[in-house]
Amino acid sequence: MDKHHAPVPDRYSRQERFAPIGSSGQQRIRDSKVLVIGAGALGSGLAEMLVRAGVGSLTIIDRDYVEWSNLQRQQLYTEEDARDRLPKAVAAEARLRSINSDVKVQGIVADVTVYELDQWARDQDLILDATDNFDTRLLINDYAMKMDIPWIYGACVGSYGMSVFFKRGLMPCLSCMMETIPIGGATCDTSGIISPAVQMTVSLQAAEALKWLSGCEDSLRNRLVSFDLWNNQYTSLDIRSARRADCPSCGDKASYPYLEAQHHRKTEVLCGRDSVQIRPAKVTKVKLPDVSDRLRAIGLIVQENPYLVSIEVNDKQRVVLFGDGRMLVHGTKDLVEAKIIADRLFG
């Protein structure tokens, strides 16, 4: 018998001995399919926990490749992966398979749009958010509400993190809570991140995942939890009353606006130039002086006038941000690369 597929009766014994899960909960976990969107710090931690916990299948999608600056906190990757600049989804798949060969692991190298969600999320039992930007989260939210798939929001930066479990009919959704959850601003590239903040956020997400997958709905948290490990602050907010009957994403007359093309972030290569234009999903009024102060404070070279801020990303690439949220990424013709650069700066 192939040693990798030999049954190992003891493998999940400690998880089964945990009374709320037991052997029936373990069987449910084994029968479940999970999609992780993003294979950065949160995605690495979430995927490893769930693969070790013995889910039936795990699909992980990511658009980026491994870099040296990832190794401090992105636990699935090695120096060799950074040296080879392996796509994260490829490196993650190989590592996850070596951790648990019982699990059907699939790594997908892609930038997530409606098309990718339709292809990879449709038949999943749970979606885990490990993205680094709000446009993708709003897309995941609308798709998950429409298809009635639960999803778990997670975000962290600096020493701060937060998580919420979303399920149509049971909880409010991300659109219901737009005023409560801070959107954009600090990112790990601009404000840094310590790995305990990652692991805490992963734990908050993974605990809800195990409750849901093992059939322990009654134990779900029903709260938005946030923490700051450096300033020693912990908050927990009951969100059940935040549900809005007229919500465009989960209300009675939901129209799922973020699944429609006019609400997507638009990227295009500018004709005849080594530049990509990114137009945001929603026109927003950007406080340009705040942006330039924040980026200058972390040592970036920033120039500004009343209409735009220009940021040197490196010696080849420069981002220009306008007051309506529109951006020009100079020094690339690659749409995905341009989005990666923009999300690293602005989230």
Q: Which is nearer to Zn ion, 96 or 247 (CB)?
A: 247
Active-site residue, 188 included? yes
Cβ–Cβ < 8 Å for 223, 236: yes
Query: In degrees to the nearest 10, what's the CA dihedral of 139, 141, 142, 147?
Result: 120
The stretch near Zn ion (CB under 5 A) out of 10-18, 219-227, 250-258, 304-312 is: 250-258
Query: In degrees to the nearest 10, what's the CA dihedral of 295, 296, 301, 306?
Result: 80
How many residues bind Zn ion (CB under 5 A)? The answer is 6
176 touching Zn ion, by CB under 5 A? yes
173 touching Zn ion, by CB under 5 A? yes
Nearest CA to 154 among 244, 42, 17, 52? 42
Structure tokens at 296: 């200058």
Structure tokens at 131: 């993205």
Q: Which is nearer to Zn ion, 244 or 344 (CB)?
A: 244
The stretch near Zn ion (CB under 5 A) out of 189-197, 200-208, 246-254, 262-270 is: 246-254
138 touching Zn ion, by CB under 5 A? no
Q: Which of 250, 276, 302, 345 binds Zn ion (CB under 5 A)?
A: 250
Q: Which of 175, 214, 226, 267 binds Zn ion (CB under 5 A)?
A: 175
The stretch near Zn ion (CB under 5 A) out of 44-52, 83-91, 216-224, 247-255 is: 247-255
CB of 250 to Zn ion, least distance (A): 3
Q: How many CA atoms lie within 13 A of 145 on its CB side?
A: 28
CB of 166 to Zn ion, least distance (A): 8
| Residue 245, C-beta contacts closer than 8 angstroms, at least 6 positions apart | 251, 252
Per annotation, catalytic residue among 156, 188, 247, 250? 188
What is the C-alpha to C-alpha distance for residues 341 and 303, in angstroms, rounded to an integer? 18
36 touching Zn ion, by CB under 5 A? no
164 touching Zn ion, by CB under 5 A? no
The contact mask relative to Zn ion for 74-113 (x = CB under 5 A, - = no) is ----------------------------------------
Q: Is 169 helix (H, G, I), strand (E, B) or coil?
A: coil
Q: Which of 163, 214, 249, 292 binds Zn ion (CB under 5 A)?
A: 249
Cβ–Cβ < 8 Å for 121, 138: no
Backbone angle region of 260, left / alpha / beta, with phi > 0 → left and psi within -120 to 50 → alpha: beta
Active site residues: 188
Residues engaged in binding Zn ion (CB under 5 A) = 173, 175-176, 247, 249-250
